[in-house]
Amino acid sequence: MAKKTEKHHRLSRRIFLQSSLSAGAGLFIRPARQTILDQNYQSGSAATSERSLYLDPTKPAKDRVDDLVSQMTLDEKIAQMGSHAPAIDRLGVPAYNWWNEALHGIGRAGIATVFPQAIGLASTWNVDLIHRMASAISDEGRAKHHEALRKGIHDIYTGLTFWSPNINIFRDPRWGRGQETYGEDPYLTGQIGLRFVRGLQGDDPNYLKLVATPKHFAAHSGPEAVRHSFNAVVSPTDLQMTYLPAFKTCITEGKAFSIMGAYNRLNGEACCASPTLLGKILREEWGFEGYVVADCGALSDIYQNHFVVKTAAEAAALAVLNGCDLDCCGEFRIPCTYPDLKDAVEQGLLTEADIERSVKRLFTARFRLGMFDPPETVPYAQIPYSVVDSPEHRALALEVAQQSLVLLKNQDQLLPLDKSKLRSIAVIGPNADNTLVLTGNYMGTPSEPVSVLAGIKALVEPDTEVRYARGCAILDGAKNGFAEAVDAATNAQIAIMVMGLSQQVEGEEGQMEGNPPGISSLGDRKLTLNIPPVQQALLEAVYATGTPIVLVLINGSMVAINWADEHISAILEAWYPGQAGGTAVANALFGAYNPGGRLPVTFYRSTKDLPKFENYQMENRTYRYFSGDPLYAFGYGLSYTTFAYHGLAITPNKIASGDSVEVQVEVENTGRLAGDEVVQLYLQDVEASSPIPRLQLKGFTRIHLAPGEKQAVQFTITPEHMSFADAEGKWQLEAGSFVVWVGGRQPVLSSDSQPANVLRGEFVLA
């Protein structure tokens, strides 16, 4: 047995060293580390010494982490708690930068496949597609990481820990970062986020593919300008029913191994040092075992802007004691707070054991990523660099972009356009020949992005004249391009106007990413939900020519296009559609693809319909509470074909507490074209003893049907779906009547008559 064990260790050492240098293992081998390995795996040392236990891949991860951390000094431990963790050469620990981005593709790391912005991903309402996309993203992330290691690079945007997805609730359309989220609904956000997390982290029983980091925990959705000092006042009911559910889903079901705290305070507690969020809810109630990272610079906010404590040492101690393990800082002049942990220990504010707890969580992640193991034992270390921007991933980017498109209006079936009958087309607008606007923010660099103009030119008949006129800029009020645009429309059979927003109009505080050089984002849209005035004027000028118009919107949040809804025949929402956006839009306009996306947000008519932006109470916000008349409702979207619903069955129609309800419906394509239908189930509790949402999405699925094809769709309504959080934030399951709505859109609760594609049923909880 001893000889067999010795042979195993010799083989492990040889594989580890050879593979690390040739194939790019998760750990770049330094000379000092080679010496350590030589010492630990000498002939006759089959039973490794205590010092080398952390290098032995046959040992449990917990034991290896305990062994490694036990050999670190206090200074070394503290240094590992910054996002740019330095090497510890004497232990063979390489430098590691924890900061990486993958919001809708590998971001900020050169060429990568760029998928639609997150709000567009939500518009697909297709969880299987999102999982496939996230798996492709994680393939590229792994490939880029190992390529960087082969070159000896350990910099920002080369690691395996990704600060995505953003699952904050898009509670108010004025928020500039709402584009990064999956919309306004907790259930939709949770289901999309769940598949994204699973796709990033993989399904290997021993290793994580990447680490996913849902953010920003919690109740974080503007205003951007005051996010470093803002206190979000949230009721226990709203916290439990709106702001936390998606995080809970991603942590408890998705097993996300990391989570990022928010800049703001929540009910007076700094989110990155909150005993309620990080202790009571995250670790005690949800059983979270991973690590918490602070948003970048958020720990300095604790004492400099929130004034929760007076000094950096106190802020650092408060954060660590309440469960925040990693300080994002150092890059881009972001201030660091955790270096002051040494002073905090000396002042008796916390102990070295408290610091060690956080360091162990961090190294558990690195061990589970396979960073200290032979690459042959880590399945994801073998992913070739050729997956980056591969033909398969390009095709997937087009598929996701197409499924994200939402047809908002199609009067007199103007769409799809018959390209065989078109001899002249005018393509007009500031977003028409713009590839930068396709990519949103937190993006990678697409190798061959396709603008809407390019997509149209590639698809029309060779003898069709395509006349392009920019008309105006995104925001600049100059109208000197109007005449050219009007002339192009006057001499065309159809005008395709590509308008909307950009990162200049909406974005993160101070953001320059996604903008032309020297231009930074305005952040939130504080004054109006309309498209910029100069674009509205251009739209009306072209409309006056009498040429039919198709309006294509490129944006990351809803726009109040009230005039366009009244005057323009066809409107297509494309969001920020990623590298293949132009091809996707052209395919939809000319019938090569039948759009089937649905809105993940409500399109309001005006800011007058909304409470104050700073108010975090959910009353009259989102479709779940809004009592007004929206321009386009959450869940809305048209198709070039039609669908009918038959035979809604709810069994049983009377249940006891703790039982579930099965719902079945048949969906039929009654039109002449194949198409996708998003079947949506909404639940209405009509007898709750506390104020609750008027309506809640509790099930959805996207299906594809050929003309005349039928498909049975099933849903399960669980006791959790029927429950609500009371005024104290405690979940209650009460007896009473429930109404179930199933269809291709929301029901209209303010009317006795419903759309033909929405069916109603009931059941009773006794």
Contact present, 535 and 499 (Cβ < 8 Å): yes
Residue 493 has which token pair?
């059979």
Task: Check if 172 is active-site.
Answer: no
Q: Using DSSP bridges, classify how beta strands 758-765 and 654-655 pair: parallel, antiparallel or unpaired.
A: parallel
CA 361 to chain centroid, in Å, comes to: 24
Alpha carbons 145 and 504: distance in angstroms, whole number: 31
Given 140, 238, 295, 726, the catalytic residue: 295
Q: 233 exposed, middle or buried (CB, 10 Å; 0-12, 13-18, 19+)?
A: middle
Alpha carbons 353 and 338: distance in angstroms, whole number: 15
Given 184, 506, 524, 685, the catalytic residue: 506
Which residue matches tokens 């010092």? 51
Q: Closest Cα to residue 701, out of 676, 679, 669?
A: 679
Alpha carbons 46 and 54: distance in angstroms, whole number: 15
Residue 149 has which token pair?
């290691």
Residue 420 has which token pair?
């065989």
Alpha carbons 493 and 496: distance in angstroms, whole number: 10
Alpha carbons 284 and 173: distance in angstroms, whole number: 33
As a whole number of Å, the end-to-end CA separation of the chain is 65
Read off the amino acid at residue 615. Answer: N
Alpha carbons 584 and 354: distance in angstroms, whole number: 52
- Provide the phi-psi class of 122: left if phi over 0, else alpha when psi is between -120 and 50, else beta: alpha
Q: 458 exposed, middle or buried (CB, 10 Å; 0-12, 13-18, 19+)?
A: exposed
Which residue matches tokens 């584009």? 179
Output phi, psi for 234, to 5 deg: -130, 135
Question: Within a 10 A sphere around the Cβ of 493, how many other Cβ atoms?
Answer: 15
Burial 618-636 (b: 16+ CB within 10 A, else e): beebbbbbbeeebbbbbbb
Write out the H or E segment, with its range, that includes residue 143.
helix 127-150
Task: Check if 506 is active-site.
Answer: yes
Question: Within a 10 A sphere around the Cβ of 332, how many other Cβ atoms?
Answer: 9
Residue 217 has which token pair?
């925990």
Read off the amino acid at residue 538. Answer: L
| Catalytic positions, written as ranges | 295, 506
